[in-house]
Structure 1
């Protein structure tokens, strides 16, 4: 089978998920072409697994001080270029298009009548799951941004719906952690403001990853450029993570048993809903603004959750190989039966 796979590159979570899917697709012998859109070409990193890939400008959201700015998003959009990218993407000879919320691929496939399979967290919002912060714009974005003939939604819990667990790497659980080591990934925030809110906590060591790291004058705050390998090594033996409420990073953190403090992007329904789900499930804590008091309480909170998820990428790839039969509740329940949730109490407060 020949597959064209489109990935929304605005956030690293979509690319992380695609890396896992790529390994499984190649292992099964599929002929796959990857296309990414949503960020400048020089901002992609650690892309070797894709065996070469295409880039399109696509559509992206403008964020400013931790909030989606819909006016700037509209002003920066280049509709003529977007339509041209759709019209010039030739999908002749492909049996299936997979879209991880990537609009150029999804709309080109729709136009050329090639079957589109949507895989991603966003497609879970087609079902009855925790959803808050919605508005007419957000609803239209979810519906029309990257339409699919069939969507496989992913979430941390099934909520009684035919959705699947996250697609993530399944590393070995850390044998030991550094109790005062905290990873910080707030790429849409003012990094100087992040440092200002963390500097009082000198008994903790903060590793801040950002697209454009700023200089830190505090020995307990280390600012680092984005690196997939570097980030994973730091996350592996850390005690917890402070991040926006993106789906993929929270999924990896739960798999590794890290405590989570999530700050959702304002005016971004998906992230606000993710924050609500973390709180509802008891999987993490949230703050809606940078708040020193909330950060302090969370730093000294000993509770974390370790969730063992199966290799969902392998399950989906096998399902595609089997001809994509109906993915009903019976199918998804069998997958969720292998998920194990463990409550963790870390060592005493620092």
Structure 2
């Protein structure tokens, strides 16, 4: 069996899911080629698990000071190049296409009538979720952006639907707590804004991962270059995490049993929904501006109990290898069976 796996690379969560799926698919004897789009090749890092991967321009969004910049997003994307890439992608050697919300592979599969399944957080929006009802807005966009024959959604709760648990890596480092050490990952925020938020709290040490080349220490703010391994080490020992509201990172934080203070990216419906769901489930606090009173209240909280998610990657790889012979409903029921969840209040 040979698969082409398309990954939307705008956010690191999509890439992380592919990192988890790659060895699980290999264990099933499945040959996989990877295609990434939505990010410049020079901005991709720690890509060794994907071998000789391909990169296309795809579609992405632009951000300015923590908000979606709609004009730049419109002008920096090229529909002409997208169509060219879709038409040029030859799928004849592949038995199946997997799209993690990646448009080039999904549309090429649709045009060439190749079987295509989607595995992504976005496909959970087909079902009712707590919060502002963003699914009604997102679903037409999801169907247009990356059309698939079957979409497998992932979320922190099943919400009585065929939604699977998060698809994340096991934490490779022992979970400890270094009091006062806060991990910060706010890639969509202006660096000076982050600095102004963190400067008043000099009784804490902030490890801020951002797009720089070398480490920089500024009193109690330690700026660190992007590194998957370094980030996971900091995640394992930190006292808490401050981050934007991407699904993948929040899932890792819950799995590690770390408290989370999160800022959804303004104008990004998925992150707005994620923030609402986290608040509804009592799993995180949400902020728009980092204020002293909220920070100290959050920082004083004890670490929550880790959430023991099952090995979703292995279950999905076996399901794919068997020809997707069971329904998504049955697969979801099996995977959630041993996960301890608080009841959802409507």
Query: What TM-score comes out, normalization by structure 1 length?
Result: 0.93
Kindly provide the CA deviation profile for residues 30-51 of structure 1, in whole angstroms up to 9, marking residues without a partner as x. Answer: 1111000111111111111112
Aligned-pair CA distance for 1:139 = 4.6
- SS of the equivalent of 1:33 reads strand
Residue 320 (str. 1) matches residue 313 (str. 2): no
Residue 188 (str. 1) matches residue 202 (str. 2): no
- SS of the equivalent of 1:308 reads coil
| Structure 1 contact 191–213 (Cα < 8 Å) conserved | no
Whole-Å separation in 2 of the counterparts to 1:299 and 1:208: 16
1:309 corresponding residue in structure 2:
309
Aligned-pair CA distance for 1:327 = 2.2
Residue 41 (str. 1) matches residue 41 (str. 2): yes
Residue 100 (str. 1) matches residue 100 (str. 2): yes
Whole-Å separation in 2 of the counterparts to 1:193 and 1:98: 38
Instruction: Mark the CA change 1:290 to 1:133 in structure 2 (over 3 Å): closer, same or farther.
Output: farther
Moved more, 22-31 or 297-306: 297-306
Can you give the 5+ residue segments of structure 1 that lack an aligned partner in the other structure? 343-350
| Structure 2 contact 82–104 (Cα < 8 Å) conserved | yes
- SS of the equivalent of 1:61 reads coil
Within a 5 Å distance, the mapping from 1:1-350 to structure 2 comes to: 1-132=1-132, 134=134, 138-171=138-171, 174-212=174-212, 218-340=218-340
| Structure 2 contact 120–153 (Cα < 8 Å) conserved | yes
Query: What CA RMSD, in Å, does the superposition of the two structures yield over aligned residues?
Result: 2.0
| Structure 1 contact 131–269 (Cα < 8 Å) conserved | no
| Structure 1 contact 98–119 (Cα < 8 Å) conserved | yes
Whole-Å separation in 2 of the counterparts to 1:213 and 1:63: 21
Instruction: Mark the CA change 1:119 to 1:246 in structure 2 (over 3 Å): closer, same or farther.
Output: same
- SS of the equivalent of 2:230 reads helix
| Structure 2 contact 175–236 (Cα < 8 Å) conserved | no
Instruction: Mark the CA change 1:146 to 1:268 in structure 2 (over 3 Å): closer, same or farther.
Output: same
Whole-Å separation in 1 of the counterparts to 2:225 and 2:172: 25
Can you give the 5+ residue segments of structure 2 that lack an aligned partner in the other structure? none
Instruction: Mark the CA change 1:70 to 1:133 in structure 2 (over 3 Å): closer, same or farther.
Output: farther
Whole-Å separation in 1 of the counterparts to 2:136 and 2:340: 37
Instruction: Mark the CA change 1:218 to 1:172 in structure 2 (over 3 Å): closer, same or farther.
Output: closer
Aligned positions, number: 342
Kindly provide the CA deviation profile for residues 232-261 of structure 1, in whole angstroms up to 9, marking residues without a partner as x. Answer: 111111111100000000101111101001
| Structure 1 contact 98–118 (Cα < 8 Å) conserved | yes
Kindly provide the CA deviation profile for residues 88-125 of structure 1, in whole angstroms up to 9, marking residues without a partner as x. Answer: 00001211000000011101111100011100100110
Aligned-pair CA distance for 1:135 = 9.2
Whole-Å separation in 2 of the counterparts to 1:133 and 1:286: 18
Aligned-pair CA distance for 1:130 = 2.6
Kindly provide the CA deviation profile for residues 121-176 of structure 1, in whole angstroms up to 9, marking residues without a partner as x. Answer: 00110111235374987453223111110011000111111010001112368352
| Structure 1 contact 198–292 (Cα < 8 Å) conserved | no
Aligned-pair CA distance for 1:214 = 9.7
Whole-Å separation in 1 of the counterparts to 2:289 and 2:214: 20
- SS of the equivalent of 2:242 reads strand
Query: What TM-score comes out, normalization by structure 2 length?
Result: 0.94
Aligned-pair CA distance for 1:213 = 7.3
Whole-Å separation in 2 of the counterparts to 1:162 and 1:291: 38
Instruction: Mark the CA change 1:136 to 1:175 in structure 2 (over 3 Å): closer, same or farther.
Output: closer
Aligned-pair CA distance for 1:203 = 1.7
Instruction: Mark the CA change 1:154 to 1:136 in structure 2 (over 3 Å): closer, same or farther.
Output: closer
